[in-house]
Amino acid sequence: MRVLDADILLLVEVENLATLEMLIEESLADMGYRPYLVPGVDFFTGQNVGILSRVVIDEVERSDLLARGAADANLQNVSKHIIARFSLSGLQTTLIGVHFLARPSDPGRLVRRQGQAEVIRQIVAQERATGREVIVAGDLNDFDESIRDRNGNRPITDVLRRIKDAGNGPEDDLRNLIAEVPQSERFTALWDRNQNGRAEVTELSAIDHILVSDLLYRKVREVRYVHSHDPLTVTDHFPIVVSFAPRSVDE
């Protein structure tokens, strides 16, 4: 995290706010971060989504919204997420950090994860309707049909398409920043599916994403997928780093 030196860090699989406070105290005390976390309702894993930020966060919350991933499906919530509002590059911005249901190729989880995507789509549409720019980021546990990852993985759901389409017209669509890097670099996670203890190229995929609205997209200066650690020894996910142009003097 010190090497990334990001102004805003979105973290998944966080136990609680005290964990973030301990992380800052023990490893990041000189970096100016403040922790944010709103406890979710994943009582099975106890995981949450948190934020460390040097940017002033105006408010954080979570939503109890429920939605269906198909007409005949049960209502679904997003047990692990955070909604944060702040100013970014001179734009009033809402960051929606998510951690969706795992196993992207499991048909038994298709409709449930689509239900989670529908919840986030509705939140995006609500935020866009108030004139705010939006970022959706985190572990969506799914692939993007229109922008293939390193191994060309294809989704069995409409999760990414559903969220990117957002509202009724193209003006509120979100863009997936995975498109800004070469296909050879498009991987964010390793799944050692054959459990041989080796990281093999065929086991890499992009299931973590950063989606941004149009005005923020125009301010993107750099997108990096950082593959600098061994995913078998630390974490099996890799960070995505996005740099935005600062607010100009005429804004």
Parallel, antiparallel or unpaired: strands 57-61 and 81-88: antiparallel
Backbone angles phi, psi at 248, to 5 degrees: -85, 165
Burial 154-173 (b: 16+ CB within 10 A, else e): ebbbbbbbbbbbbeeeeebb
Q: What is the pTM of this model?
A: 0.96
Q: Where are the beta strands (DSSP E) in the chain?
A: 8-14, 34-37, 48-53, 57-61, 81-88, 91-99, 133-139, 175-176, 189-190, 204-205, 208-212, 220-225, 240-244
Backbone angles phi, psi at 121, to 5 degrees: -60, -45
CA 193 to chain centre: 23
Query: What tens digit of pLDDT does each residue of 78-112 get?
Result: 999 999 999 998 899 999 999 999 999 999 999 99
Run of H or E residues at 112: helix 110-129
Closest CA relative to residue 138, chosen from 13, 229, 44 = 13
Q: Which domains, and CATH codes, for the chain?
A: 51-244 (3.60.10.10)
Query: What tens digit of pLDDT does each residue of 120-170 get?
Result: 999 999 999 999 999 999 999 999 999 999 999 999 999 999 999 998 877
Percent pLDDT > 90 in the chain is 90
